[in-house]
Chain A
């Protein structure tokens, strides 16, 4: 478990937040190396789909804008292409930090309103269970996470697309595809979780 967020509810800007990120977020210790050059934001292929680019997100962390950081779409819209990480002249693992901020947002309950988090959860369920993404089941899980009525509504709205995909063999009906060795996958994931639990205190 991560160290609890510092209690500074009465202030808008929280000077302890940067320190907390440094100590608790994967890769956070490297964040102080950021020199705000903007290479990350300039390299981001979906920067236009984010509330702010990684550069500004990092500046917000320094300024202690805790709520704004965790509610930002940036951490959810990142596609993990690693362009920013590869290009950062100061060696900041931007992608790790963003991914872990998303995990922390879930952990601290910031994600009630964020659809991306629901989608990410559905995606992860499919990947973990089958070793593959099954479009049907993943989409169903995502839609019904909004509730039964909302799930039906969303499903019907996309019915035409689904039929089209089946017809062109982009989606299949029947048992979901699976990888051959799901047990092996489970073992890998269990090991990864073990390593993560051991090493997740700061440092990339």
Chain B
């Protein structure tokens, strides 16, 4: 921006006027800070207050209104002005509501908020949208099972063309092989007819959907809006362009041959749930040994699931599917005795009705763990409710409800070159969450954690060909915070490849992933960012004149948005970028910047704070708070009137990954006594909204410690803490403890230099 016209607007409402002297703030703005327009108002977000600002903007007096009022997270519509760039200085949640009213320290904190706002404005420009031309809007759905069919129909219903590819010769997947499905409509009591065939008909009859069977993805390159996908089928390869990708590759049953202790293989009448399903669909249940119809059947639930030796997770569906199979057996022969041996029966929501139905039909549920199944079909149950082991004899058949393995890799494809290695690096560290009082779970070795097979999409990304997976091999990110997202922008997973789920859940999941895909395409068309910086038009700009080709930005970008060009310079795949700024934090020569967020801007903000001299006994602690969780938690601390220490100076950042370590050394040279980074949880159960930004920040912080030591400063003056959005009551105490520690070190000796 060539001509910056800042204007400071101070709100006196919501208790700000009572807590701080707004007149003094106005005088500061127009005096020391030399801002041409400085005004205060009793109720800035009201019609009159907004009109005042609008008029100044319209008159050409101001193009950077600095709103010294409430948090940047609220009143965004009121303070959005055409042709102007709004800057927010948080006087309400972070000062007036969190610090004692009328005190000198509170006034100083408010003044510094205004100083930082003015400094921020001085380095900000309005981002120009970088709109790519000729983007594609077609959605590729990988996998033609019930999830994929639903995804294709949902995508077509949103008006997008769909390319549906299926590896096998026909559509329908597992679902097409079942005789009945679990009930998903009221009264949720009886097994329902399978609707997969009608889904297939609907897909085949939809002109917007192109179906390709016997087809797999040989290679995927590009970015949202322009994925270049090479499809392979028997007759050769075909190049297609799509806008976004939905992966619905589903699941496969856990290998029952590994369940020898449950009698699989020892007796032909020990079968898996999938095998039983085959019998039910093809003429009824018969013993493999003598072809007789079994009269007494036991289901062993959690066969291989929730077992650290096999699948550590709950496969979620087996309780319901076993109840369904038990009901089918009892329906065919009301005299049949069916036992379901469960550890915990997981029948949430309407599935409880289904469970009741089975009980009413006389299916007997026994709570316990199946210890072993003998070749003579003796099932030994460790009965939890009787507190003893019970041998069950006289059974005609034992059904093992085997768990589900996600098909995040294609077991029929050979491992890609370097793929296994890359996969191991990209899966989050296999670290089961340690909980107090629980026995430690054995951590599986890397080789066991990595599913065999080749990549599904064979991504031509510098992070490797695979979709990133969680520790158990599910291609998902944080399943509560960021469902469907795969850590590869524009590629979304749904159905059992994401987590174990049944057909009804998969159908909903398909709709969710498709909506994400539509969002990705639309955002790409407008040059806008996706979650969590939805709508952000800024993108990283590289100052190639001083770039040293160190490749840190390309390596650290969590989304593979940056590649190296032939000369080794960074090159942006614009629509993959999520605007987290991790590249900016990584750059050792600070030549990566966003129009409205850059290293210089935050440096200016840090420098703008007035540091009292060493005789004042007033400390200054810099807190860089992630805007996704930490800053809202701090906001809520204010809203709930938890007090915040008045010696802290808070700057929200896009992600801790964007924190350039220059800022920390800047702060100490300026005379700050301590610095704290507040970000999201990293690791296997990460909550970082940019996957690994906070983890990267932690690594960088380790190096800062060494820098501090070389300056003869204590390492403890810098700390990185994890804050979740629910920590509003704790965050003030965390700060107080840190400030206490800093006081223990004494003041920063660089003050005043």
Residues of A within 8 A of B (CB): 8, 11-13, 15-16, 18-19, 22, 32-36, 55-56, 59-60, 62-63, 65, 90
Whether B337 lies near A63 (C-beta < 8 A) is: no
The smallest C-beta distance from B483 to any residue of chain A, in angstroms, reads 32
With A and B bound together, what is the CA distance between A13 and B360 in angstroms? 23
In the complex, are the beta carbons of B394 and A15 less than 8 A apart? yes
Q: Is B391 an interface residue (CB 8 A)?
A: yes
By the criterion CB–CB under 8 Å, are A11 and B393 in contact? Answer: yes
Q: Are A19 and B337 in contact (CB under 8 A)?
A: yes
Q: Are B359 and A33 in contact (CB under 8 A)?
A: yes
How far apart are the CA atoms of A110 and B339 in the complex, in Å? 27
Is B356 close to A, CB under 8 A? Answer: yes
Chain A residue at minimum C-beta to C-beta distance from B390: A63
B444 interfacial contact with A, CB 8 Å: no
Cβ < 8 Å to A, chain B residues 369-386: 383, 385-386
Contacts of B362 on A, CB cut-off 8 Å?
19, 22, 32
Interface residues of chain B, those whose CB is within 8 Å of chain A, are 296, 337, 339, 356, 359-367, 383, 385-386, 390-395
Residue from the set B391, B392, B393 with the largest chain A CB neighbour count within 10 Å = B393
**B337 & A13 in contact (Cβ 8 Å cutoff):** no
Please indicate the chain B residues that have their CB under 8 angstroms from the CB of A22 in the complex: 362
Cβ A36 vs Cβ B363 within 8 A: no
Instruction: Determine whether the beta carbon of A62 is less than 8 Å from that of B394.
Output: no
Beyond the given pairs A11-B394, A59-B366, A90-B356, 8 more chain A to chain B contacts, judged by CB atoms under 8 angstroms and listed by A's residue number, are: A13-B390, A13-B392, A15-B339, A15-B395, A32-B363, A62-B364, A62-B366, A65-B386
Chain A residues whose C-beta falls within 8 Å of the C-beta of B392 in the assembled complex: 13, 15
Bound CA–CA A184/B361 (angstroms): 41
A13 to B364, CA, bound (A): 15
Count chain A CB atoms within 10 A of each CB in B361, B383, B386, B392 and give the residue with the most.
B386
CB proximity of A52 to chain B, nearest CB, Å: 9
Q: Which residues of A contact B361 (CB under 8 A)?
A: 32
Inter-chain contact B337/A15, CB cutoff 8 Å: yes
Residue of A nearest to B366 (CB): A62
A65 cross-chain contacts in B, Cβ below 8 A: 386
8 A-B pairs in the complex with CB atoms less than 8 angstroms apart: A8-B394, A15-B392, A19-B337, A32-B364, A33-B360, A63-B386, A90-B356, A90-B359
Least distance between A87 CB and chain B CB atoms (Å): 18
B residues within 8 A CB of A36? 365, 367, 385
Residue of A nearest to B345 (CB): A35
B359 in contact with A32 (CB, 8 Å): yes
Chain B positions within 8 Å of A62 at CB level:
364-366
CB contacts (< 8 Å) of A15 on chain B: these are 296, 337, 339, 392-395
Q: Which residues of A contact B360 (CB under 8 A)?
A: 32-33
Nearest-Cβ distance from residue A169 to partner chain B, whole angstroms: 49
Instruction: For the complex, give the distance between the alpha carbons of A32 and B391 in Å.
Output: 20
Contact A12 B391 (CB under 8 A): yes
Chain B residues, CB < 8 A from A33: 356, 359-360
A58 to chain B, nearest CB (A): 9
The 10 closest A-B pairs by CB, nearest first: A59-B385, A32-B359, A33-B359, A63-B390, A32-B362, A62-B364, A15-B394, A59-B386, A13-B390, A18-B364
CA distance A188 to B339 in the complex (A): 42
Q: How far is the CA of A35 from the CA of B358 in the complex (A)?
A: 12
CB distance from B480 to the nearest CB of A (A): 29
Q: CB distance B383 to A59 under 8 Å?
A: yes
**Are A63 and B393 also in contact (CB < 8 A) when A32-B362, A35-B359 are?**
no
A35 to B383 CA separation, bound complex (whole angstroms): 14
Give chain A residues whose Cβ lies under 8 Å from the Cβ of B365: 35-36, 62
Q: Least Cβ distance of B398 to chain A in Å?
A: 13
A63 touches B391 (CB 8 A): no
Minimum CB–CB distance from B709 to chain A (whole Å) comes to 61
A56-B393 in contact (CB<8A):
no
Q: Considering the complex, give the chain A residue whose CB is closest to the CB of B337.
A: A19
The distance in angstroms between the C-alpha atoms of A63 and B380, with both chains bound, is 11
Chain A residues with CB under 8 Å of B395's CB are 15
Question: Is A13 touching B391 in the complex (CB atoms < 8 A)?
Answer: yes
Most buried by B among A18, A35, A36, A63: A63
Complex partner residue of B366 from A8, A11, A63, A90, CB under 8 angstroms? A63
> What residue of chain A has the Cβ atom nearest to residue B356's Cβ?
A33
Could you tell me if B386 and A56 are in contact, using CB atoms closer than 8 angstroms?
Answer: yes
Q: Would you give the shortest CB distance from B326 to chain A, in whole angstroms?
A: 12
A62 to B359, CA, bound (A): 12
